[in-house]
Homo-oligomer: A and B are copies of this chain.
Amino acid sequence: MDELDRRILNRLQSDGRCSYADLGRLVGLSVTAVKERLDKLQRNDVLRRYSIIVDEKKVGYGVLAFVFIGIDDPEDCAAFERQMLEIPQVQECHHVTGGFNYLLKVIANDMSRLEDLLLQRIKLPGVVSRSETTIVFSSPKNSPFVDCVANGA
């Protein structure tokens, strides 16, 4: 992974359809060289996948929330994680430091749906002992962009 790979990855994050020819012009390589580099980056799972970015609000998810989860018995953690993997509205589930065990990023159609989701599928009885929900008013910044260039490595 050199500077050229990083520039290519940055470009594709902002335009996933940028052609090999355009990428080549950007970094000064031929079409074939660019493709070879991307194939290798994909084999090494640096490039996980090509995708699109969808506006959550416009497809019906009006509410975004972060939920801290406390689990007293460490034996329950595996089951909890399995459950989180199955709920599409749970976009992220992080194992974290601090007074709680997990931090979830959750999207829902509206407050009422979020309430249902938390009560029925997330705060599992006998597993989740405590939780703390933070609702997002608005997001001045919400972009999955990973800057591969502005990176000390």
In the complex, which residues 1-23 of chain A have their Cβ closer than 8 Å to any Cβ of chain B? Answer: 1, 6, 9, 12-17
In residues 47-85 of chain A, which contact B (Cβ within 8 Å)? 47-56, 58-61, 64, 66, 81, 84-85
A148 at the interface (CB under 8 A from B): yes
Contact residue range for chain A? Answer: 35 or more
Partner of A147 from B88, B92, B143 at Cβ < 8 Å: B88
A68 nearest CB neighbor, chain B only: B134
B51 touches A94 (CB 8 A): no
Q: Name the B residues within 8 Å of A90 (CB-CB).
A: 141
| Copies of this chain held together in the complex | 2
Which of B46, B49, B59, B152 has a CB less than 8 Å from the CB of A146?
B59
A97 within 8 A of B: yes
- The minimal Cβ–Cβ distance linking A28 to chain B, given in whole angstroms, is 21
* Contact call B140/A95, Cβ cutoff below 8 A: yes
User: Is A137 a contact of B52 with CB atoms below 8 Å?
Assistant: no
A127 within 8 A of B: no
Partner of A97, one of B49, B85, B96, B135: B135
Q: In this assembly, does A126 line the interface, its C-beta being within 8 Å of a C-beta of chain B?
A: no
A95 and B134 form a contact (CB under 8 A): no
For the complex with contacts A16-B50, A94-B136, 17 further pairs of A-B residues with Cβ separation under 8 Å are A1-B58, A1-B59, A6-B59, A15-B49, A16-B49, A16-B52, A44-B58, A48-B53, A59-B146, A59-B148, A66-B66, A66-B96, A66-B103, A81-B141, A91-B145, A94-B139, A113-B152
